[in-house]
Every structure is written in structure tokens, then in C-alpha cells.
Chain A
Amino acid sequence: MSLRPVRETAAAALLVAVAYYAGANLGFILRFPPSTPSVLWPPNTILTAALLLTPPRRWWIYLLAALPAHLVAELGLFPISLVLTLFATNCSEALIAAAGVRWFSDAPGRFDTLRRVTAFIVAAGLAAPFFSSFVDAAAVAAAQGEPYWLVWRTRFFSNVLTELMLGPAIIMAVTAGPAWVRGAPRARRVEAALLAVALVIVGAWVFGALIDRPGNIPGASVVVFLLPLILLMTVRFGPGGASLALLSTSLIAIWASAYGRGPFAGLPAAASVQALQILLTVLAVPILCLAAVIVERRQATRALGEQLQALRASEVLKSAILASLSSSVAVLDRSGRIIDVNAVWTRDGGECAGPTPGRIEVGDNYLDVWREAARRATPHAEEAVAGIEAVLAGSRPGFGIDYSSHAGASERWFTISVVQLGRLEGGAIVSCAEVTERKRAELDAQRSRQELAHFTRVSTMGELTASLAHELNQPLTGILTNAHAGLRFLDAVPPEVGELRAILSDIVDDDKRAAEVIQRVREFVRKGEPQRVPLDLNVLVKDVAKLLSSDAIIRNVTVTLDLAAEPVRVYGDRVQLQQVILNLLLNAMEATAESAGPDRSIVVRTEITTMLETVHLSVTDAGGGLSTGSTEIVFEPFYTTKPAGMGMGLAIVRSIVEAHGGVVWAVKNPTAGATFHVAIPVRHVPT
């Protein structure tokens, strides 16, 4: 622990001790005539203030610090037992006051709300003197032989007045005083000084001279001349001003009474003291409350002003944001009627928001614009109506759609997005922008991808010529041999008609087989728009395996199909997915053919992954495999390890699979070769 807090606490304790001693002596002085109890008894209030300004775990320090001060002040006057008892009752008053204020108030050291002031008045001003006076009175009565209830009453009123007058003044001086002294503007200092001087002069005049006149109502002059000044200080300087004004007034009144003047000069000494105490107490309670109410009101007004300012700033910000947007933006109410638009919308008439030409303006129903388009069977209109209705009904947070319009000479593309407006009344925000450039770029990219895919398909077929020749050679050989045999059977006498029928039937089958090979190749190199249709991956794998069967034989490789038992349904383009399988299979076959390894088998596997709702294809070979680190790079365009390769095969595979919303990856097998995996979501919605 650092020494600084220790030093500070020690200094504060010393200050409390000195103040306690000074307060006790002041209390002794403020007795008139000297035989009566004090009008004000500051030590208890000084302790109360010290406790209120510190956390309870350090209270013992200040109570202990006050003990020597108490002993020094009182030991000569009373017997030791009484002195100690009085110290105990003084401490108990401070403890009851501090604990009570802490219990009821949310900020024990402040007097700026009615609740905090009330807590102080009730706990410190009333309860603490009330309860602590019983033991005090008993001790004094026993030691000095004075009447019990007289002692109790005297101590009670004296301590009530002291707590109310001195407590807030000390606390305000300690908490707010230093900052005010350092930071208050000159005008405020002058004002405070003038008011203080005025208060002292008027107070001295009211208590010292004026009231003496016979025939005046006691206390009336206080109300007429002094109260306005105290109120003025309260209004201008809040709780601090109020407490200092009250303290000054009390001191002046007591000083006047000590010289036998003041409003109650005519009464017997004890009664005049009590009358003065009651007058000042009654004055203090409403003034302290008033000061708190004034501060509260001022703060509420300021908070309201700040809220209004923030609201205005956010309005300005919102309209600036709306104006700065390059998209057209409109605000809809829950029925779809346009209630506000931004500057861009006004300029363009909301042309991008509607599927047909014509201005859309504030007051129009935006939903009707799309409904009208849907009636004329405009593309995307029905989907848009459903989406906007869902957002307005609150069943969807937002909705977006791209659509084309042939309004002008060329095709233009627009995008709109509709999001819910988070208001109780519902509604939505529509924003729209032209995206023709972006769409064109996308379409261009798609077209080049298709062309590249087509080009690589054609060149793949080029690589497969040997195998295709073999594939066609088989039926051709069958046909030729059978035809020759047929001619020979015709020459026999009689011709063998049964043999001839069987031969012709075999020739027909072979011809069909050759036609199928040609058909498969033609389909594969066909150039066309991609078409997304429901497909069975198993069928595609079998088709490709057939196409490559001769190649496998030529390369001395066996291809095993390990296909899922049920159809592996996927939504996609037939030719493109065939190309994926073909490229992967060719790759595997080339890897196997090049390798000197004993295992010359390739396994093609299909699976349905129900959990992830994807279909899965893998091609495993036992070839040379991948060099470490090349698992990702193999999919890069122009990456190749083959002398005659273009490096496009796997790049095409990846671009096709990704266009189907899927992923492709390669894994080095633990024993030999590599496995290429493709996963495609079953319900990929094509873009």
C-alpha cells in the first residue's frame, strides 16, 4: 500500500481532532448567560460530517482522533466518568446520523435532491439528536443534579440546530468549496461577496437593533428583511449558498442574543435560547429543501435540453445520411404507401425501384407498383410482391432482388432491398440502385468461364482420341467380322437363315453402340447455356466411366465405382458436372499410368451426407500423389506437372464446383496417391 492515502487519512484525522476541540470551545463560548447550555454544540456535527464524508470502514479512525480533543476540552470541567460518557453519546449521535443518512440517501455527502436533503434532515437533524440525548441527559442529570427532561430538551434542540446549520455548511465547504474557490468566475465571486456583506449588515441590523422596539411582532422583521436575502442566496448559489446563509444568520442571531438583543430579548434566558433555536430550525428545513428542489429542477431542465439537442442532432444526421446516399431511398408505411423519399429518389423519380417506366412518388403505394407488374407477368414481379409483403407483415427482416428492365434501348439491371423499419407503426425502407455495370461484368465472367470450360472439354476430347478410336473400333470390328461371316453363310447351300438373323441383330447392336459413343462425345463438347436440372450423380459417374473405359484399358488402369445405393440427387448442369468427374478421373488415370507402383486401381465414390445436406464425390488413386504443400495450388490455373498439360483441368473443376455452391479439395493418401473430393449442397439455389 502506498503511503499517500495513509498520510491523507492521518491529516484528515488531525483536522477532525482540531475542529472537534475548536468546536467544543466555541460551544462553551456560545452560552448566555454562561450557566445555561450552549445554543450551538458543534463537536457532534463535526464528527457527523467527517463520518458522512468517509467510508464506514474508516469511521473508527475519526472517532478515535476526536477522543483526545474531547478529553483536553472537557477534563477540567467535569468528572472523568461524565466526560467519557459524554464522548460516547457524542459519538453515538454522529454514528446514528451517518448510518441513517447512508441508509436513506443515495449520495450521503450531497444536498442537491429533495430525497438526499430529507434523508439528512430526518436522520442527522432529527433522529440522531433525539436518540443520543437520553443517555446524555441521564449522565448529566446524575452527575450535576439537574432535572433530566430539562437537560434532554436543551441538548436535543441545541444539537438539532447544530446538525442542520453546521452539517451541510461543513460538508459543502469540504466537497464543493475548493472547486468553487478555484474555478468560479469573477462575476460570481463579486455577487457572492456582495450578498454575504448584505446578509451580515441586514442580519446585524435585524437582530441587533430593530427588533428591540416594543410593539413589533417577534420574528416579523426576520421574515420581512432577512428571509428575502437568504432566499436570494439559495436561488443563486444552491445548497452551498443556502447552508452558508443559514449558518451566518444563526451566528449573528446568537451573537445578538448573547448581548441581550434580538427578537426574544424580552423572554427569560432559557426560553429565549429555545425560541431562537426553534426559529432557526424552522427556517433551515424549508430553505435546505428549497435549495435541493432548485438544483433538481435546473438539472432536469438541462437534461431535457440535452435530450432535445441530441434528438435534433440525430434528425440532422439522419437527413444528412439519407441525402448523401447514392441509392434512391424511400420510406414506406405498413400498407406500402411511400411516406418519404431522399433527394436521389426525387431526382430520378424512383425509376430504379419500379419494374416499369414511370415516376413513383410520395403518396403512391409501392406494393401496388409491383402488383401491377405481376399482373402483366413481368419477370421477378411476383417474387418481389411476396418479399415486400413479407417484410411489411414483419415475417421477414429484409428482402432483396435483382431484376432487369428493357425500358430503354438496352437491358438495364437494378437491385432493390427492402428492410423492416424498427418502429411501432411498422413500415419499411426501400433502397434501390442501378447495377447494370456489375451485372454485365458478372455475365461476361460467366460467359468466359463457360467458353474456357468448353475449350478445355474440346481439348480433353483431343487427348482422348486414341481411346475414342479404340471405343469405336470395337463395334466396327464386330460389325465387319459379323458381316464377313454373314456373307460366307449366304454362300452356303442352303443359306443358314438362323445364323444370318443373329448376325444382323448383333450388327444392329454394334451400330447402336458406336452411335452412343459418338452421341456422348457430341454432348460433351456441345456448346450451350448451362442448364440447371435435377441430376443423379451416380448416372453421371457411370456415363463418364464409360467414356473413359477404353482409356483405362490402354493405360492399364482399373476404375472401380463405389456408388451410393440410392440416387445421389443434385441440382446442376449435366455437361459441367460430367466435366468435373472426367477431369478428376483423367487426372487420376494419368497419375496412375505414370507411376511405377503395383496398385493400378482408381476408386470413384459417391455419398449423400444427410447432416450437411450435401452430395459428395471422391476420386482416389494410388499414383505419384501430391507433393507436400501442393494440395491447394493444384487448383490454380496454369499449374501443371504434366509436360503437355495446360494446367486448366483442376482450375475448371474448381470454378464449376464453386458455381454450383460447392467446394473441392485434395488430400494426400497415407499409403500412396491422392484423393480429390467434391462436395455440393443439395439445395443450392443457382445465382
Chain B
Amino acid sequence: MIDKPRVIVVDDDMSVRRGLERLLRSVGYEVELFASSRAFIERGEYERADCLVLDVRMPGPSGLDVQHLLVSAGHDVPIVFITGHGDIPMAVQAMSVGAIDFLVKPFDDVIFLNAVQRAVAKSRQRRA
């Protein structure tokens, strides 16, 4: 039996975090939640995730900061960015460093799950 794909969600808003967790669980993902980027970074073992869902604006290091950190350390984890208000330069930057998608809140569940699905697929493909 194949392991359930693991998705890590990092968002400072509890309600958003819990909504995303339920959505992901409903389609069969294993979900791990972090309330801040700092907590996520300190936890380590970044490769265990098949997909990383990152809020852009958070107290402390932003989602983009986390991406930069992971890329420069050579951790290749597919990332889906979510943000309260998007701007194009930010999205371009994120995508250019290999992000899977850049979603502006609030977003449709299908779009979100599709993005996560693509990330997981990429991750699995690489491991295979």
C-alpha cells in the first residue's frame, strides 16, 4: 500500500488552517499544520512533505523567505503559495524559483486541490 501523501500547511490564521486541513483530509491527504514559519523551520525534516502550502504574509519570516531558505539549502519541496492580497511581481518571483502555484485568498477548492495534486505528483515523480 502506498503511503498517504503528506501536505504541510503554514498559515498564521487558525480558521484558514483548519479549513484547509479538512479540505485536504476529505480527499485523503495526511496533513501537518504550523501556525508560523518559524515553527515550521525549527521543526526541520522538510523532505518528509509532498507539498508545502505557504501563506505569504505572516508575522516573522514570510512565505517567500521560507522558499528562499529551502531552495538555497537544496531542499526541493514543491510549494503552493496562498496570500491575502496578491501582486504580480511577488507571484512571478515565487514561480521563477519553482513554486507550483500562487493562489489569492479566498480561492475555490477545486483550484486549490488541483495545485496540491500537481505538487504531490511532482514530488512522487521525483522520488520514483
Name the B residues within 8 Å of A481 (CB-CB). Answer: 16, 19-20, 22-23, 106, 109, 112
Contact partner of A485 among B22, B58, B84, CB < 8 A? B22
Question: For window 460-497 of chain A, which residues contact chain B by CB distance below 8 Å?
Answer: 466, 469-470, 473-482, 484-486, 488-489, 492
For residue B125, CB closer than 8 A to chain A, the reply is: no
**Which of A111-119, A145-153, A550-558 contacts its partner?**
A550-558
B13 closest partner in A (C-beta): A474
Contact partner of A473 among B18, B26, B59, B106, CB < 8 A? B106
Is there an interface contact between B23 and A488, defined as CB atoms closer than 8 Å?
Answer: yes
Is there an interface contact between A499 and B22, defined as CB atoms closer than 8 Å?
Answer: yes
Is there an interface contact between A553 and B15, defined as CB atoms closer than 8 Å?
Answer: no
Name the B residues within 8 Å of A95 (CB-CB). Answer: none
For residue A510, CB closer than 8 A to chain B, the reply is: yes
Is there an interface contact between A506 and B18, defined as CB atoms closer than 8 Å?
Answer: yes
B17 closest partner in A (C-beta): A478
Is there an interface contact between A477 and B23, defined as CB atoms closer than 8 Å?
Answer: no
Q: Residues 494-517 of chain A: 1 if any B CB is under 8 Å from the residue's CB, otherwise 0?
A: 000001000100100110010000
For residue B62, CB closer than 8 A to chain A, the reply is: yes
Name the B residues within 8 Å of A484 (CB-CB). Answer: 19, 23, 108-109
Q: Residues 28-61 of chain B: 1 if any A CB is under 8 Å from the residue's CB, otherwise 0?
A: 0000000000000000000000000000011100
B103 closest partner in A (C-beta): A477
B29–chain A nearest beta-carbon distance, Å = 12
Name the A residues within 8 Å of B75 (CB-CB). Answer: none
Report if A477-B22 is in contact (Cβ < 8 Å); known contacts: A470-B85, A488-B27, A554-B57. no
Is there an interface contact between B23 and A485, defined as CB atoms closer than 8 Å?
Answer: yes
Is there an interface contact between B22 and A510, defined as CB atoms closer than 8 Å?
Answer: no
B12 closest partner in A (C-beta): A553
Alpha-carbon gap, A479 to B27, bound state (A): 19
A324–chain B nearest beta-carbon distance, Å = 72
Report if A476-B19 is in contact (Cβ < 8 Å); known contacts: A470-B84, A488-B26. no
Alpha-carbon gap, A466 to B109, bound state (A): 24
B108–chain A nearest beta-carbon distance, Å = 8
Question: For window 361-384 of chain A, which residues contact chain B by CB distance below 8 Å?
Answer: none
For residue B124, CB closer than 8 A to chain A, the reply is: no
Name the B residues within 8 Å of A480 (CB-CB). Answer: 19, 106-107, 109
Is there an interface contact between B26 and A506, defined as CB atoms closer than 8 Å?
Answer: no
Is there an interface contact between B84 and A474, defined as CB atoms closer than 8 Å?
Answer: yes
Is there an interface contact between A469 and B22, defined as CB atoms closer than 8 Å?
Answer: no
B83–chain A nearest beta-carbon distance, Å = 9
Name the B residues within 8 Å of A473 (CB-CB). Answer: 84-85, 105-106
B127–chain A nearest beta-carbon distance, Å = 27
Report if A482-B84 is in contact (Cβ < 8 Å); known contacts: A553-B58, A553-B59. no
Name the A residues within 8 Å of B27 (CB-CB). Answer: 488
B21 closest partner in A (C-beta): A485
**SS of B interface (majority):** loop
Interface size class of A (residues with CB under 8 A): 20 to 34
Name the B residues within 8 Å of A482 (CB-CB). Answer: 15, 18-19, 22
Alpha-carbon gap, A88 to B25, bound state (A): 137
Alpha-carbon gap, A513 to B19, bound state (A): 15
Report if A510-B15 is in contact (Cβ < 8 Å); known contacts: A477-B106, A484-B109, A489-B22. yes
Alpha-carbon gap, A409 to B109, bound state (A): 68
A475 closest partner in B (C-beta): B15
Is there an interface contact between A556 and B106, defined as CB atoms closer than 8 Å?
Answer: no
Is there an interface contact between A477 and B57, defined as CB atoms closer than 8 Å?
Answer: no
Question: For window 492-550 of chain A, which residues contact chain B by CB distance below 8 Å?
Answer: 492, 499, 503, 506, 509-510, 513, 550
Among A485, A486, A488, A513, the one with the most B-chain Cβ atoms within 10 Å of its Cβ is A485
Alpha-carbon gap, A476 to B106, bound state (A): 7
Is there an interface contact between B57 and A474, defined as CB atoms closer than 8 Å?
Answer: no
Q: Residues 63-96 of chain B: 1 if any A CB is under 8 Å from the residue's CB, otherwise 0?
A: 0000000000000000000001100000000000
Name the A residues within 8 Å of B25 (CB-CB). Answer: 485
Name the A residues within 8 Å of B106 (CB-CB). Answer: 473, 476-477, 479-481
Alpha-carbon gap, A488 to B85, bound state (A): 27
Is there an interface contact between A470 and B23, defined as CB atoms closer than 8 Å?
Answer: no
Alpha-carbon gap, A558 to B36, bound state (A): 14
Among B19, B57, B62, the one with the most A-chain Cβ atoms within 10 Å of its Cβ is B19
Alpha-carbon gap, A480 to B15, bound state (A): 10
B18–chain A nearest beta-carbon distance, Å = 6
B64–chain A nearest beta-carbon distance, Å = 11
Report if A477-B16 is in contact (Cβ < 8 Å); known contacts: A469-B84, A488-B23. yes
Name the B residues within 8 Å of A466 (CB-CB). Answer: 85
Name the B residues within 8 Å of A499 (CB-CB). Answer: 22
Question: For window 86-128 of chain B, which residues contact chain A by CB distance below 8 Å?
Answer: 105-109, 112
Alpha-carbon gap, A484 to B26, bound state (A): 10
Alpha-carbon gap, A503 to B109, bound state (A): 15
Contact partner of B85 among A469, A476, A479, CB < 8 A? A469
Alpha-carbon gap, A31 to B57, bound state (A): 133
- Which residues of B are in contact with A by a Cβ distance under 8 Å? 12-13, 15-16, 18-20, 22-23, 25-27, 57-59, 62, 84-85, 105-109, 112
Given A485-B26, A503-B19: 9 more A-B contacts, CB < 8 Å: A470-B57, A481-B16, A481-B19, A482-B15, A482-B18, A489-B22, A492-B26, A550-B84, A553-B58
User: Can you list 28 A-B contacts (CB < 8 A)?
Assistant: A466-B85, A469-B84, A469-B85, A473-B84, A473-B105, A475-B15, A476-B105, A477-B13, A477-B84, A477-B106, A480-B106, A480-B109, A481-B106, A481-B112, A485-B19, A485-B22, A485-B26, A488-B23, A488-B26, A488-B109, A489-B22, A492-B26, A503-B22, A506-B15, A553-B12, A553-B58, A554-B57, A558-B59
